[in-house]
Every structure is written in structure tokens, then in C-alpha cells.
């Protein structure tokens, strides 16, 4: 029982730590959005192109954050460590 409790607690902490990965994409997407706002200010007629390029770049930059999220989801809902006991 104690071993299980330790593993569950450590998994919860690990899931929380995995979500620190959200910092990177947050900064990156904010920077991209800021640059896009600058570009729209400089050239308002290219708004459509700028927005779609920015969304595309944001979605690609997001993947590291998504990896962290997947690790956290696995630790919370499909924990592989509990079977090792």
C-alpha cells in the first residue's frame, strides 16, 4: 500500500513538473503574436497572410508543450509505473 502511495504521489508531482514545458511555447507564441502585430501595423493590407502564417508557426512551436501535456496525461490517466509493483 505504501509503495503504491509513493508511486501515485510521485506521479502527481511528475505530471505537474511535466507541465513546466508549457513555459517555452508560451514565450514563443507570445513573441510570434507580437511580431505579427508589428507586421500588421506596418502593412495592414497583408493581414490575412500574416495571420495564417502566424497561426501555422504557433501550432508548430506548440509541439514541445504538447509533448509535456502528453507525458502529464499518461502519468495521470494511464500510469505505466503502477504496474511495475
Q: Select from 28, 33, 62, 79 the one that contacts another protein (CB under 8 A).
A: 62
Question: Min. distance of Cβ 56 from another protein in angstroms?
Answer: 6
Nearer to another protein, 6 or 60 (CB): 60
* C-beta of residue 18 within 8 angstroms of C-beta of residue 75: yes
* C-beta of residue 36 within 8 angstroms of C-beta of residue 51: yes
Q: Which of 15, 7, 13 is nearest to 69 (CA)?
A: 15
Write out the residues near another protein by the rule CB under 8 A.
Answer: 55-56, 59-60, 62-63, 66-67, 69-70, 73, 77-78
Amino acid at each position: 500500500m505504501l509503495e503504491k502511495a509513493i508511486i501515485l504521489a510521485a506521479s502527481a508531482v511528475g505530471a505537474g513538473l511535466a507541465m513546466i514545458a508549457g513555459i517555452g511555447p508560451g514565450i514563443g507564441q507570445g513573441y510570434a503574436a507580437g511580431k505579427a502585430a508589428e507586421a500588421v501595423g506596418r502593412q495592414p493590407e497583408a493581414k490575412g497572410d500574416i495571420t495564417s502564417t502566424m497561426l501555422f508557426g504557433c501550432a508548430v512551436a506548440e509541439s514541445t508543450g504538447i509533448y509535456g501535456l502528453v507525458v502529464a496525461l499518461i502519468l495521470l490517466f494511464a500510469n505505466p509505473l503502477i504496474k511495475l509493483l
